[in-house]
Amino acid sequence: MKTIKVGIAGIGRMGKIHLENLATKFHDVDLIAVSDINSAVKDFSSHFGVKKFYPQFKDLVNDDEVEAVVICSPTDLHAEHIKIAAKAGKQVFCEKPMDLSLSTVNEVQKVVEKSGVKLMIAFNRRFDPNFIKVKQMVNDGKIGIPQIIKITSRDPGPPPISYIKSSGGLFLDMAIHDYDMARHIVGKEVTEVYATGQVFVDPEIGLEGDIDTAITILTFENGTMATIDNSRKAVYGYDQRLEVFGSSGMCGASNNLQDNHFYYDKNGSHGALPLDFFMDRYAASYFNEMKAFIDCLKHNDVLPTGGHDGMMSLAIGLAAKKSLQEKRVVKMSEIL
Amino acid sequence: MKTIKVGIAGIGRMGKIHLENLATKFHDVDLIAVSDINSAVKDFSSHFGVKKFYPQFKDLVNDDEVEAVVICSPTDLHAEHIKIAAKAGKQVFCEKPMDLSLSTVNEVQKVVEKSGVKLMIAFNRRFDPNFIKVKQMVNDGKIGIPQIIKITSRDPGPPPISYIKSSGGLFLDMAIHDYDMARHIVGKEVTEVYATGQVFVDPEIGLEGDIDTAITILTFENGTMATIDNSRKAVYGYDQRLEVFGSSGMCGASNNLQDNHFYYDKNGSHGALPLDFFMDRYAASYFNEMKAFIDCLKHNDVLPTGGHDGMMSLAIGLAAKKSLQEKRVVKMSEIL
Amino acid sequence: MKTIKVGIAGIGRMGKIHLENLATKFHDVDLIAVSDINSAVKDFSSHFGVKKFYPQFKDLVNDDEVEAVVICSPTDLHAEHIKIAAKAGKQVFCEKPMDLSLSTVNEVQKVVEKSGVKLMIAFNRRFDPNFIKVKQMVNDGKIGIPQIIKITSRDPGPPPISYIKSSGGLFLDMAIHDYDMARHIVGKEVTEVYATGQVFVDPEIGLEGDIDTAITILTFENGTMATIDNSRKAVYGYDQRLEVFGSSGMCGASNNLQDNHFYYDKNGSHGALPLDFFMDRYAASYFNEMKAFIDCLKHNDVLPTGGHDGMMSLAIGLAAKKSLQEKRVVKMSEIL
Amino acid sequence: MKTIKVGIAGIGRMGKIHLENLATKFHDVDLIAVSDINSAVKDFSSHFGVKKFYPQFKDLVNDDEVEAVVICSPTDLHAEHIKIAAKAGKQVFCEKPMDLSLSTVNEVQKVVEKSGVKLMIAFNRRFDPNFIKVKQMVNDGKIGIPQIIKITSRDPGPPPISYIKSSGGLFLDMAIHDYDMARHIVGKEVTEVYATGQVFVDPEIGLEGDIDTAITILTFENGTMATIDNSRKAVYGYDQRLEVFGSSGMCGASNNLQDNHFYYDKNGSHGALPLDFFMDRYAASYFNEMKAFIDCLKHNDVLPTGGHDGMMSLAIGLAAKKSLQEKRVVKMSEIL
């Protein structure tokens, strides 16, 4: 049986998830090495049987044993790391976003294309079992022509202000997942974006020039409309819902709950809240996306999400930002 | 026990509902007379024990026995009928909309104010038990500050083209209910409107210059945002949902279903669809709004919805129409 | 259009429901007269336009105008009233139970058969829209052969002790509805009964020799098994659920709720309770059963529930009582 | 950090689950050795880094490194293996049932008590997150005094006839889990059992003297009543529900579904089915029960389920069997 020889760059929160999945759930992967500037994470990778540890990314890439790299480094290194890996002829799996600048993303795309390696951008939600089921129903024509997409995406609490300073803000670090989901479901490109937003959760977020609550409307080239609402803080948990309305019906997915208990007393009926941690909510999707990457490499198939997806979601996020600032509808042709 | 002496003008679809409710469920009402240009409806009113029938509205108003008139005449007569009734010193309950022109509505308002009679505009959904419960939870502070309102409002099928020709279109005959609901829940005024729409259901609707599928975003003076999606045709029934998200939680109402059956076979779990006829869906609200009108007259209380509500919903609808046509955000100050 | 000329005997709680329904919702009924020993109810019937009032049941029956009588008198008069009406050649609709003695029920049956009139026993739950839907799914073969029936039937609170003294107890005044429902769904007769019970709600109920909480298992001639649980007091409302499990699937009906609101806060998700008053919960069934009666009379059809149904449910209740007392399984052949 | 040194006996279906969990999810366990008469399973254990493999159970027990043994051998070896392990002074985790004979179970109990080792019987469902939540609500007094327990437990399909020949039948291999759950929730002992059953699924099951569909009623010493319905075949999946009704409310757990999608078309609303494989449905419980075992060993705590629980569930199963055969209520005092 062919195995894929993998190296992981950056053993932070996402790096640990991918490392543990690759080490314990993949029988067709050899985990060759990890790289991280912080040598303290070496214990973690050793525990899972990874033998080589590199402080420098370039050494990981230059390890002849490594065929594919999983890039989980900080966002501002993604573009650089993809380019280095591509030039070295390694297959690449990279956490989103590719970068916060469209021109950089474009440049990365060109390098990847020239190199001939495969690049997968980790839009993990596409691999969530609920959303897979929704996408499949849409593809099977069960709702006819999609007309209205509704996405609710609310975090259980805001990230630290330090994160917001460099993340690009709500549209680029949070809503970008929902823009990708809308594109994924419709299977078409967006032509117009309108976004509005407020600071409701924390005034400090406003001081950074960002918002914490927003609604975006996307119009697609085929007329489909999407409305996406985001909040940095839903006190009742991590609210992740999708609904697709079409000419022959409606489909969607409700939240994954913490459990399935019910309770009735004289005051009402009561039940569980949504899972409130993204790693629990999307545990299956992190495994599934990695499985898709590994399987495609094994069978030399086209990867399900690539640089184009990364670029388009970023562009929609930039359009939303501009729409909010200029209080007007923004055409995608102004951005791309 | 004091009784209120009522006359009904126009025994069409809504007139029949109000007549039957008043005749069979109100012990404190005397149904004095009805008026309709079509004498064929006389049988209907006689069956419910109404003794007097007038072909002309003015004769109904001039009947000294009549204290209050329920106006269910065609939309283009509403303004005229309200003015006649007000000048004659009769209390007025009028179906929505008051008119499709803001200046006419303004004029009606002035006449009513000068006359000193009470005017209730029949925004029946405010009296639906589900939405009453939602409003009450919001008022009780159970969700804290409302941040995002989501309203889904989809009809089971489009009205005849003839209706659309004179109704003012989707924003003025359909979404107007949802605009009123958003205003009702937030308890503030709207400052900006963005609307987008498509013709998905029937090209003939497009030929009339209207759309059949739309999303509207309202921004309120206090920052609350509302997203409202409308469709003329949901194949699965009459879809009427409301969700209010705030700083301390989320509340809302799901659809009223045809029944509560469930069925599991090897293909999945299955259940009932939403009620698909507005008269079934909103049966309770039609009774409740009339009860509110009668009770307020009896106790000389302020009516729950008045001319101002009719005017503001109309203005939002006109702003939405302008937004769609000019593909831009419209400020309410441009309209009012 | 042929109309059915109806008299109502006994204007108590059920009599008022039937009177109001017949007076306001039936266009093919003439409500001729009512009888009640209490002349104070005359105002109620006059309000709904009933012209004749008789203090004595026999005078109602002897009124030549009356074709059909609706018997809502106290339980201990049911048998006598049915016999009088049948002998007078009137069609009969009678509230359940027919009587608490099997021999009396048998005798009534014989009188009715000899007279040739139609007799409908008011098992209203068979006419509830939810349970109609379940019965229809079973009849359509959607679950294949029914194997297990589960009925949950819990009242919001116990009746007065005075009622329990004469009602025959939980098995005969409450579970009897569920026994009828099980027979209705399976469409076969019961062969064995096992019942167990406790006094949990009120020790006074125990002092009367009754229980307030019970489970009954019925075995049908075709092997289908039913488990029925009853309680006199569910603090969360009137709990009325049905589930039918079979070789090809499962179907059933969940509770009718007070409304469809939802609420999420940091402690959990919350919703409405079941309707907690039997007249609200079964409002539609009271109308539907009367409509079935009137329609069958008009078209000379066989009535949907007759004396045999009344007798069999009573017999099962008596078997359950014996099973509890003797702590053993009771065969229906011991009772019938 | 103290680690527990574990050996696993029998690498069949359950052995593999425990081995994989212990190898990948426990940082405080050293997996020392496995034993199995089938040397083909050695590859599986090696893959997870287990170094020693013994064909004989006694060699595993005699390995000085092994502190605790996890017994997943065939049921008819459980009693023997527990005794060998206890005599060798090893802590024991054993799959249920301990044995099909009460006298053997009694004997095992005595050996274990004399040896002073700890014995945990793997009633995994007690460790399911849903049922943990229900138990906690009951313990917290949220429903007051438990009055009625309802357990639905239906398999997606029957086991092979060969399994039924030696399993003890539906009451001992399947309903026994539910009897344990009822005891667990109530926290009291059962005094009376009534069971009835049928062969609906497969006549061959009947030829083996077993049934495939059953209802059991348990009466507890404190009056609480439980009704448990079992089927070997639910076409819609693995149906595992629990409901507890008490003086102050009702709580319970509904099924774990395959996903959370919804779909509405003109025929109805549709959703997912329950998970249909016990290893998926109870994946969390298998991990949680092992964690409880390891944690108790580490902290020298009392194990949550012991030999007494194994014995009592078996006794209830035997009483149910006798009740079915003799068509009567069986007192637990006849069995124990």
Residue A45 half-sphere exposure toward CB, CA atoms < 13 A? 27
Tell me the percentage of chain A whose pLDDT exceeds 90: 96
Nearest to D250 among A24, A254, A264 (CB): A264
Contact A113, A164 (CB under 8 A): no
Instruction: Choose among D279, D254, D245, D19: nearest CA to D143.
Output: D245
| Per-residue burial over A3-16, b = 16 or more CB atoms within 10 Å of its CB, e = otherwise | ebbbbbbbbeebbb
H/E element holding C288?
A: helix C283-299
Give, as one character, the DSSP assignment of residue A121: E
Query: Cα separation of A205 and B186, whole Å?
Result: 24
CB-CB under 8 Å, D24 with A259? no
Q: How many interchain CB pairs under 8 A, A with D?
A: 79
Transcribe A202-254 into DSSP letters: -HHHHHTT--SEEEEEEEETTS-EEEEEEES--TT--EEEEEEEETTEEEEE-
Chain B residues with CB under 8 Å of A233 CB are: 247
Angle between helices C307-326 and C175-186 in degrees, nearest 10: 120
Q: Residue B137: closest CA among chain C residues belongs to which residue?
A: C263
Q: How is residue B284 written in tokens?
A: 């309770």
Mean pLDDT, rounded, of chain B: 96
Q: Residue D138: closest CA among chain A residues belongs to which residue?
A: A263
Is the CB of D40 inside 8 Å of chain B's CB atoms?
no
Contact A188, A220 (CB under 8 A): yes
Chain A residues with CB under 8 Å of C235 CB are: 265-266
Mutate to test the interface with C, among A240, A256, A267, A269 (most CBs of C within 10 A): A269
The dihedral over CA atoms of A141, A143, A145, A151, expressed in degrees to the nearest 10, equals -120
Chain B residues with CB under 8 Å of D258 CB are: none
Transcribe A7-74 into DSSP letters: EEE--SHHHHHHHHHHHHH-TTEEEEEEE-S-GGGHHHHHHTT--EEESSHHHHHH-TT--EEEE-S-
Beta bridge partners of C285: none
Chain B residues with CB under 8 Å of C248 CB are: 265-266
Angle between helices B75-87 and B102-115 in degrees, nearest 10: 20
Residue labelled with tokens 């309202």: B218
Report the pLDDT value the prediction gives residue B24, as an integer from 0 to 100: 85
Report the pLDDT value the prediction gives residue A2, as an integer from 0 to 100: 81
Chain A residues with CB under 8 Å of C254 CB are: none
Chain C residues with CB under 8 Å of A270 CB are: 268-271
Query: Cα separation of D174 and D171, whole Å?
Result: 6
For residue A81, give every residue at least 6 positions away whose Cβ sits within 8 Å of its Cβ, in sequence order, or none. Answer: A9, A57, A69, A71, A73, A94
Report the pLDDT value the prediction gives residue C24, as an integer from 0 to 100: 85
Query: Cα separation of A108 and A99, whole Å?
Result: 9
Residues C74-94: tens digit of each pLDDT: 999 999 999 999 999 999 999
Chain A residues with CB under 8 Å of B215 CB are: 148, 217, 225, 227
Contact A41, A20 (CB under 8 A): no
Chain D residues with CB under 8 Å of C233 CB are: 247
Query: Cα separation of B111 and B109, whole Å?
Result: 6
Chains linked to A by 3 or more Cβ pairs within 8 Å: B, C, D
Q: Residue C239: closest CA among chain D residues belongs to which residue?
A: D250
Nearest to D261 among A47, A251, A266 (CB): A251
Report the pLDDT value the prediction gives residue B157, as an integer from 0 to 100: 97
Chain C residues with CB under 8 Å of A272 CB are: 268-269
Q: Residue D47: closest CA among chain A residues belongs to which residue?
A: A27
Residues A94-105: tens digit of each pLDDT: 999 999 999 999
Instruction: Choose among C271, B223, B249: nearest CA to A234.
Output: B249
Mean pLDDT, rounded, of chain A: 96
Query: Cα separation of C45 and C33, whole Å?
Result: 9
Q: List, as ranges, residues 98-117 from A with C-beta within 8 Å of B.
A: none
Give ∠ CA B74-B80-B81 in degrees, rounded to 5: 70
CB-CB under 8 Å, C198 with D194? no
Is the CB of B262 inside 8 Å of chain C's CB atoms?
yes
Sequence letter at residue B148: I
The 10 Å Cβ neighbour count of residue D72 is 26
Backbone angles phi, psi at C213, to 5 degrees: -140, 130
Nearest to C260 among B27, B130, B249 (CB): B130
Report the pLDDT value the prediction gives residue A36, as an integer from 0 to 100: 97
Residue C179 half-sphere exposure toward CB, CA atoms < 13 A? 35
Contact B242, B150 (CB under 8 A): yes
Span C98-116, mean pLDDT?
96
- A230 confidence band (pLDDT: 50, 70, 90): very high
CB-CB under 8 Å, C266 with A270? no
Report the pLDDT value the prediction gives residue B47, as an integer from 0 to 100: 86
Give, as one character, the DSSP assignment of residue C223: S
Report the pLDDT value the prediction gives residue C84, as an integer from 0 to 100: 98
Is the CB of B263 inside 8 Å of chain C's CB atoms?
yes
Distance from CA of C45 to the nearest CA of D (A): 41
Mutate to test the interface with B, among A137, A188, A200, A233 (most CBs of B within 10 A): A200
Distance from CA of B214 to the nearest CA of A (A): 8
Burial of A38 (0-12, 13-18, 19+ CB in 10 A): exposed
CB-CB under 8 Å, B265 with D270? no
Report the pLDDT value the prediction gives residue D27, as an integer from 0 to 100: 86
Burial of C327 (0-12, 13-18, 19+ CB in 10 A): middle
Nearest to A200 among B147, B197, B227 (CB): B147
Chain C residues with CB under 8 Å of D225 CB are: 196-198, 213, 215, 229
H/E element holding C226?
A: strand C225-231
- C1 confidence band (pLDDT: 50, 70, 90): low
Q: How is residue D184 written in tokens?
A: 């667990």
Span C267-279, mean pLDDT?
95
Report the pLDDT value the prediction gives residue D1, as an integer from 0 to 100: 62
Is the CB of B136 inside 8 Å of chain A's CB atoms?
no
Residue B88's Cα: distance from chain center in Å?
25
- B1 confidence band (pLDDT: 50, 70, 90): low
CB-CB under 8 Å, B272 with D270? no
CB-CB under 8 Å, D231 with C225? no
Query: Cα separation of A83 and A113, whole Å?
Result: 10
Phi-psi region of C55 (alpha: psi -120 to 50; beta: other; left: phi over 0): alpha
Residue D301 half-sphere exposure toward CB, CA atoms < 13 A? 11
CB-CB under 8 Å, A213 with B217? no
End-to-end CA distance of chain C: 44
Distance from CA of C230 to the nearest CA of B (A): 21
Residues A15-63: tens digit of each pLDDT: 999 999 999 889 899 999 999 999 999 999 998 889 999 999 999 999 9
Query: Cα separation of A74 and C241, whole Å?
Result: 55
Backbone angles phi, psi at A190, to 5 degrees: -85, 140
pLDDT at B220 over 90: yes
- A87 confidence band (pLDDT: 50, 70, 90): very high
Distance from CA of A328 to the nearest CA of B (A): 6
Residues C211-235: tens digit of each pLDDT: 999 999 999 999 999 999 999 999 9
Q: List, as ranges, residues 266-285 from D with C-beta within 8 Å of B.
A: 266, 268-273
Is the CB of D260 inside 8 Å of chain B's CB atoms?
no
Give, as one character, the DSSP assignment of residue B118: -
CB-CB under 8 Å, B137 with C261? yes
Is the CB of A157 inside 8 Å of chain C's CB atoms?
no
Residues C151-191: tens digit of each pLDDT: 999 999 999 999 999 899 999 999 999 999 999 999 999 99
Is the CB of A258 inside 8 Å of chain B's CB atoms?
no
Distance from CA of D202 to the nearest CA of C (A): 11
Residues D186-205: tens digit of each pLDDT: 999 999 999 999 999 999 99
Contact A233, A155 (CB under 8 A): yes
pLDDT at C320 over 70: yes
Is the CB of D259 inside 8 Å of chain B's CB atoms?
no
Decide: helix, strand or coil at residue D205. Answer: helix
Q: How is residue C312 written in tokens?
A: 């069999």
pLDDT at C197 over 70: yes
Q: Residue A22: closest CA among chain D residues belongs to which residue?
A: D24
Chain D residues with CB under 8 Å of C249 CB are: 235-236
The 10 Å Cβ neighbour count of residue B206 is 14
Query: Cα separation of A94 and A111, whole Å?
Result: 15
Integer CA distances (angstroms), A31 to A34, A51, A262, B179, in order: 8, 8, 43, 57
Beta bridge partners of C30: C5
Phi-psi region of D82 (alpha: psi -120 to 50; beta: other; left: phi over 0): alpha
Distance from CA of D68 to the nearest CA of C (A): 40
Is the CB of C219 inside 8 Å of chain D's CB atoms?
yes
Backbone angles phi, psi at B87, to 5 degrees: -60, -30
Nearest to D265 among B236, B269, B271 (CB): B236
Enumerate residue ranges in chain D where pLDDT < 50. Answer: none
Give ∠ CA A214-A216-A220 in degrees, rounded to 5: 170
